[in-house]
Amino acid sequence: MSLHSPQAHSSRPPANERPKFGPQAQATGPRGPLRPGMASGEKAISFGPSLKRLIGHLAPHRIAIFFVIAMTILGTGLSALGPAILGSATDLIFNAAVRDRAPIDFEAVGRVLMLALAVYLGFFVFSALAAFIINGVVQRSIYRLRQQVSDKITRLPLQYFDAQPRGELLSRVTNDVDNISQSLQQTLSQILSNLFTLISVVVMMFVVSWQLAIVALVTIPIALALTVFIGKRSQKLFAKTWKSTGELNSQIEEAYTGHDLVTVFGRRREVRAAFAQKNAELYDASFGAQFISGIIMPVMFFIGNLNYVAIAVFGGLMVASGTLGIGAIQAFVQYSRQFTHPITALASMANLLQSGIASAERVFEVLDAPEESADRDGSLPDEIEGRVTFENVTFGYTLERPLIHGLSLVAEPGSTIAIVGPTGAGKTTLVNLILRFYELQGGRIAIDGVDIASVPRRELRDHIGMVLQDTWLFGGTIRDNIAYGGDNATESEIVAAAEASYADRFIRTLPDGYDTVINDEATNLSSGEKQLLTIARAFLSNPDILILDEATSSVDTRTEVLVQKAMSRLRADRTSFVIAHRLSTIRDADVILVMEDGAIVEQGSHDALIATHGAYYRLYQSQFAAGLVEDSE
C-alpha cells in the first residue's frame, strides 16, 4: 500500500491557479461570490426547512421520542392536577373555619396533601425519566451527525478545500456541531415539557373557570406575534455570528501556523489589526443577536404580569359575588403563573434554537457540498507493468481557464520522467491528475491501457507512492510515521526503509531512537529530517508508480547526494515522475519534459535537450549562472 491520504492531500494547485481565500478574497461561482465553504447557488437562511431537517436527524430514535412524549404528557398532566388538589385543601380549611365555623377536618386535609405529594412525586419521576432519555437521543444523534460530517469530508474533492480557509471548515465541524448539540440538549426536552404543560394548564383553567380562562388566553396571540417578530430579526444575526466565528478561527489558524514568518517580517501589528477587525465583527453580530433575542424574556414577563392583574381583578369580583370559591381562585392564580411560565420559557428557548439552527445550516452546507464522482467498478491488472499514457488531456481549475490543454505523452514501464518548467506551468497538476485528485475535462489517462477514471480511487492510489516537497507528519513516534506507508509493517521492514532513505543514521542518534515522539507540529525535527522520514515512508509503501515532487529540496547537499542514490534504487523497475527545480537532480532521467503554460514544449534526455539550445537549455543556463548546477559540458 502506498502513501496516499493526508500527505497526498497536502498538495494544492499553484497559487496563481487555485481559488484565493482569506479576509480579502472570496471563492466565486456562476452566480457570484460564495461564502467560504458554500457551494454555488446557496439558498437564503430558512428557519423552517432547516429545523425540519435537523429534527429529521432524530428520526432513528422515534420509539424513544414517543416514549419521552408519553412520559412528558403524564408528568405535565400530574403537575397540572396539583393546584386543583391544593385548592380543594384550601376549601376544606376555609369552609370549615370561616363559612361553617366548625372544627377543621385535618385528617381529610392530610389525605389531600398526601395526594398532592404523590402527584408531584410522580411528576418528578416522569420528568426525570423523560430528560434522561431525551439526553441520550440528542447525544447519539449528534454523534451520528459528526460521523456524517467526517465521512462527507473524505468524499469531498480537493477543489472544495482549495476554495476556503481550513479554520472555516474546522469551525463548522467543531464549533457549529457543538452548538447544535447544546441547543438541542437545552431546548428539546424543555420545549416538550413546556408545550404539554401549557396544554394541561389551559385544560385545567377551563375546568376551574371558563370565564377566567378566556381572560387569560387573550395574551397568547400577543405573545406569539411578538415572538415571531423578534425571532425573524435575531435569526439573521445568529447566522452572521457563526459565520464571523468561522472567519475569526480561520484568521487565528493562519496567524498561528505562520507565526514565525509573521515575526520575521514584522507583521504582528497587521495580524493584531486583522484579529481586532474580525473580533469586532463577531462582537457586533453576537451583541445584536443576544440583545434582540434577549428582549423576549422581559416582554413575556410584562405580558404575564398584565395577565396576572386581569385574573386578580376579575377573579376577585367573582369571589365577591359568590360565583367562585376561594380555593378555586387560589388554584386559578397558580394556573395563571404556570400558564405564563411555559410561554416565557418557550420564548426564551427561541434564543437557543435560533442559534442552533444557524449552526445547523452551516453544517448542512458541508453535507450538501458536491462530492467526488462515484467510483466505477473497473480494476487494474494484477501485475502492473507501469505504462502511463496521457491522451489529449485537458484540465483547468476553472472551466474558463484551462491550465493543461491537449497534452499527450507515454511513460514507458520502469522509466523515469522528469518534469521541469517555470512556476505555474502545471508540473504538480500533471502528477495530481495521475492520482485523480482532480477530474479531467477532456482526454484520458491510462495505466497499462486501463483508463484510471474507471478504477476506484483507493485501488488506483494503492499502486502509487508519493513524496511531496511539503512534509506531513502526525503526532506520534517515528516508527508510527514510517509505518504509515504500509499495512502491518514489521520492525525489520521499518528499519530497512529508514536505512534505504538514510534516515536510520539520524534516528539512532535521538535519545529514544525509533520511539522518539514527534510533536503535533513536528518542530522537534529539522526540515531535512522530516523529509527523510517521508522518503522512508515511500520506500515502505513499495509502489508500482512513484511520484517525487521536489522531494530533496529540504535536505543539505551531502544528504542530497545520499538521497539521490537511494532514489535511484527506489526508482529501479518502477515508472517514476520527478518534479524538479534543481536540474542537477534529474540529469539521469530517461525523459525530461519541459512544460510551459500547461503544455509540453520539449522532451528528451538531458544531453539531447542541451544540444537543442531551447527552453530546457535556457533553464539550465539560468541555474548554471546562479551556481545551482554544475557544468556538464
Alpha-carbon span 589 to 568, nearest angstrom: 10
Tens of pLDDT, residues 27-63: 333 333 333 333 333 333 567 788 888 888 888 888 9
Average confidence score pLDDT of the chain: 77
Task: Return the pLDDT at 39.
Answer: 36
pLDDT tier, 10 (very low <50, low <70, confident <90, very high otherwise): very low
Instruction: Yes or no: say if 543 and 511 are a contact pair by the CB < 8 Å rule.
Output: no
Are the C-beta atoms of residues 363 and 177 closer than 8 Å to each other?
Answer: yes
Closest CA to 293 of 243, 223, 235: 235
**pLDDT tens digit string along 95-124?**
666 565 667 777 787 888 888 888 889 888
In this structure, is the dihedral angle defined by the CA atoms of residues 372, 377, 383 and 387, taken in order, positive or negative?
A: negative
Residues 556, 529: contact at Cβ < 8 Å?
Answer: no
Residue 446: pLDDT band with limits 50, 70, 90: very high
What is the chain's Cα-based Rg?
A: 35
Query: What is the rounded distance in angstroms from the CA atom of residue 301 to the CA atom of residue 307?
Result: 10
Burial of 509 (0-12, 13-18, 19+ CB in 10 A): exposed
Sign for the CA dihedral angle at 148, 149, 152, 153 comes to: negative
The C-alpha angle 471, 425, 626, rounded to 5 degrees, equals: 75
**E strand or H helix that includes residue 251:** helix 219-257
Amino acid 445: pLDDT: 92
pLDDT confidence of 8, banded at 50, 70, 90? very low
> Which three-class secondary structure state does DSSP give residue 624?
helix
* Backbone dihedral angles phi then psi of residue 594, each to the nearest 5 degrees: -105, 120
Strand stretches in 540-632, DSSP E: 545-549, 575-579, 591-596, 599-604
The reported pLDDT for the residue numbered 184 is 86
Q: How far apart are the first and last CA of the chain?
A: 41
* pLDDT score recorded for residue 100: 57
pLDDT single digits (tens) 368-419: 988 888 888 888 888 888 899 999 888 887 777 778 888 888 888 888 888 8
* Sheet hosting strand 591-596, strand order edge to edge: 464-467, 545-549, 575-579, 416-420, 591-596, 599-604
- Tens of pLDDT, residue by residue over 477-490, are 889 989 988 878 88
pLDDT the model gives residue 444: 92
> If you count DSSP H runs as helices and E runs as strands, how many of each does the chain have, helices first?
22, 14
Q: Higher-confidence residue: 342 or 362?
A: 362
Could you give the CA distance from residue 266 to residue 161 in angstroms, rounded to a whole number?
Answer: 29
Highest mean pLDDT pick, 277-281, 339-343, 409-413: 409-413
- Which amino acid appears at position 431 of this protein? V
Residue 386 CB coordination number (10 Å):
20
Cα–Cα distance for residue pair 249/168, rounded to 1 Å: 7
pLDDT at 432 (0 to 100): 85
Locate 280 and state its grid cell.
469586532
Residue 217 DSSP SS3: helix
SS3 222: helix
**Quick one: which of 381, 72, 83, 347 has its CA closest to 197?**
72
The whole-number average pLDDT for the span 518-530 is 76
Give the contacts of 49 (CB within 8 A, at least 6 positions apart): none
At 237, give phi and psi (nearest 5°).
-70, -35
The yes-or-no verdict on residue 180 having pLDDT over 80 is yes
CA–CA separation, 50 and 571 (whole Å):
53
Q: Quick one: which of 163, 158, 174 has its CA closest to 10?
A: 158
CA 443 to chain centre: 34
